[in-house]
């Protein structure tokens, strides 16, 4: 297992706001990660920090084992953020040409295919593009750069469902042929569930959970039943949230359940269903665990 990026104990304060608090994160080579968190959780601060735009008050960032100095950019790296504002007067093709200079693995054939896929006219000026279309320019750069470490900050914000699907498809197909490390922040949680292999969830600048997406699918459950039965069933299990309804209790739990658990649940008349990633995220945040 090779490590692409290690963030150790990152802290950043803006006045009295802790944008990041003792945040640790480790990304392996050639894995797609989702970065989730509510508004203001610290996602953009973290991504900007990795990209050298913000320096931590405390903590370190290492890329492939090498500590980044102040303002230093990781090598073979691409950061896709929402806006290309400084390039407003430039044409799409000019922005791509500019980006290509910085990325040794840039693939022009792929970039042109993506322009077609996203129905983007390369002669248009950035300022003439709609918000969603503008974010597609960044997404093309993120994909065609084939950087070994790629960060996306909200790449699908403002995109319609068709374009979002095309972006995810292009990302996954290209990743299959050219594996690299990708960290992607988003609020469209259930969509990322089919794209990311692992997920980091942050809240108020701190890490709340990181895990394999498959494990979350298997271990995140919503159980309902008589309050006493639910209390007994959940004893010793990781409970994220409980809620009373009528005479019963609903509990969100994060636990692998075996055949014995399922049998016991049936005997206790407890219903069990899997949680979507979005629901799991909500219960996790609500419960603060």
CB of 33 to ligand ATP, least distance (A): 15
Structure tokens at 25: 């994160």
Structure tokens at 96: 């791509």
CB of 277 to ligand ATP, least distance (A): 17
Q: Quote the DSSP letter at residue 236.
A: T
151 binds ligand ATP (CB under 6 A): no
CB of 159 to ligand ATP, least distance (A): 16
Residue written as tokens 């994909």? 143
CB of 8 to ligand ATP, least distance (A): 18
Residue 103 in contact with residue 138, Cβ under 8 Å? no
186 binds ligand ATP (CB under 6 A): no
Beta bridge partners of 199: 34, 211
Residue 248 in contact with residue 234, Cβ under 8 Å? no
Structure tokens at 83: 């806006």
Select 40 or 104, whichever has its Cβ closest to ligand ATP. 40
The contact mask relative to ligand ATP for 2-41 (x = CB under 6 A, - = no) is: ------------x--x-x-----------------x-xxx
45 binds ligand ATP (CB under 6 A): yes
The contact mask relative to ligand ATP for 207-226 (x = CB under 6 A, - = no) is: --------------------
Select 35 or 163, whichever has its Cβ closest to ligand ATP. 35
Among 10, 36, 42, 284, binds ligand ATP (CB under 6 A): 42
Select 144 or 285, whichever has its Cβ closest to ligand ATP. 285
Distance CA 96, CA 110 (A): 12
Distance CA 239, CA 283 (A): 10
Chain centroid to Cα 35, Å, comes to 3
Q: Which of 33, 64, 43, 67 is nearest to 203 (CA)?
A: 43
Residue written as tokens 């739990």? 253
44 binds ligand ATP (CB under 6 A): yes
CB of 111 to ligand ATP, least distance (A): 27
CB of 19 to ligand ATP, least distance (A): 3
Among 5, 25, 43, 171, binds ligand ATP (CB under 6 A): 43
H or E stretch including 17?
Answer: strand 17-28
Select 19 or 239, whichever has its Cβ closest to ligand ATP. 19
If binding means CB under 6 A, how many residues of this protein chain bind ligand ATP? 11
Q: Interface residues for ligand ATP in 108-147 (CB under 6 A)?
A: none
Q: Where are the beta strands (DSSP E) in 100-230?
A: 149-153, 181-185, 198-203, 206-212, 220-226
Distance CA 28, CA 5 (A): 7
Residues lying near ligand ATP in the complex (CB under 6 A) are found at: 14, 17, 19, 37, 39-45
């Amino acid at each position: 297992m090779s490590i692409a990026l290690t963030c150790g104990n990152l802290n950043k304060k803006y006045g009295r706001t802790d944008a990041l608090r003792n945040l640790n994160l480790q990304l392996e080579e050639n894995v797609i990660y989702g970065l989730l968190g509510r508004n203001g959780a610290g996602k953009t601060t973290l991504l900007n920090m990795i990209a050298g735009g913000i320096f931590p008050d405390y903590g370190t960032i290492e890329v492939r084992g090498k500590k980044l100095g102040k303002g230093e950019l990781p090598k073979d790296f691409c950061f896709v953020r929402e806006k290309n504002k400084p390039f407003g007067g430039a044409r799409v093709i000019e922005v791509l040409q500019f980006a290509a200079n910085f990325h040794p693995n840039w693939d022009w054939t792929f970039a042109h295919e993506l322009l077609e896929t996203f129905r983007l006219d390369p002669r248009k000026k950035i300022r003439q593009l709609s918000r969603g279309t503008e974010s597609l320019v960044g997404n093309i750069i993120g994909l065609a750069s084939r950087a070994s470490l790629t960060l996306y900050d909200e790449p699908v914000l403002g995109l319609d469902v068709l374009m979002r699907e095309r972006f995810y498809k292009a990302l996954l197909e290209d990743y299959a042929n050219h594996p690299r490390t990708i960290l992607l922040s988003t609020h469209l949680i259930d969509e990322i569930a089919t794209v990311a292999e692992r997920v980091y969830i942050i809240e108020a600048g701190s890490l709340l959970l990181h895990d394999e997406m498959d494990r979350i699918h298997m271990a995140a459950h919503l159980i309902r039943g008589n309050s006493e039965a639910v209390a007994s069933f959940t004893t010793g299990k990781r409970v994220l949230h409980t809620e009373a309804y009528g005479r019963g209790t609903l509990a969100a739990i994060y636990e692998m359940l075996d055949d014995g658990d399922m049998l016991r649940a049936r005997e206790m008349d407890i219903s069990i269903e899997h949680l979507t990633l979005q629901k799991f995220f909500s219960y996790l945040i609500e419960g603060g665990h």
